[in-house]
Amino acid sequence: MQFSEDELRSALRRKDPGPDFTQRVMDRLNSPEAAKGVKAKPVEGERWNWWKLLAKRLAEAGWRPVMAGAMAIVLVGFAAWMGIERYQSYMQQVQNRKVQEEKIARQAEEQAVRALRITSAKLNHVFQKVNGVPSTEPKIRRQTL
């Protein structure tokens, strides 16, 4: 079965919802839940606040790309901030570990030097005893390392 464009137009002609429709809309408009979000337009002069102008410009440019861009900036900023925080924390740990290791190394060095000195004195003493040379150095007390 074929049909013409006029017949399609006729099948889709506008239909009136009935005389009470406007009243029903106004009744819903005056209901408490509808009244919550209703705002009147500000009087002329108040109208071109900077933020309104900005909103208008953004709306003209298309909100979606602007919002997507803003979202991307926020996400990248957040990720960068997290990265910097973690890097700083890692560097702090490395620094602390280095200081600790240096301290241990210094202590070990001191102990090694002291041990060598004691060994040297003991060997010297033994050597003199063996050769019958009276000791010129004071008697070294036994030390525990």
Residues that bind another protein (CB under 8 A): 1-5, 7-18, 21-22, 24-26, 28-30, 34, 37-43, 59
Q: Least separation, in Å, of the C-beta of 43 and another protein?
A: 7
Q: Please, are residues 144 and 114 in contact by the beta-carbon 8 Å criterion?
A: no
Q: Which C-beta is closer to another protein: that of 30 or that of 93?
A: 30
CB of 73 to another protein, least distance (A): 25
Whether residue 76 contacts residue 84, with contact meaning beta carbons closer than 8 Å, is answered with no
Q: What are the C-alpha distances in Å from 60 to residues 3, 48, 53, 65, 113?
A: 41, 15, 10, 11, 80
Nearest CB to another protein, comparing residues 9 and 141: 9
Nearest to 135 by CA among 122, 118, 117, 119: 122
Q: Between 11 and 133, whose beta carbon lies closer to another protein?
A: 11
Minimal distance, residue 6 CB to another protein, in Å: 8
Distance in Å, CB of 93 to another protein, minimum: 52
Residue ranges in 46-62 assigned as alpha helix (H) = 50-61
Nearer to another protein, 7 or 109 (CB): 7
Give the three-state DSSP class for 100: helix
**Single-letter amino acid, residue 13:** R
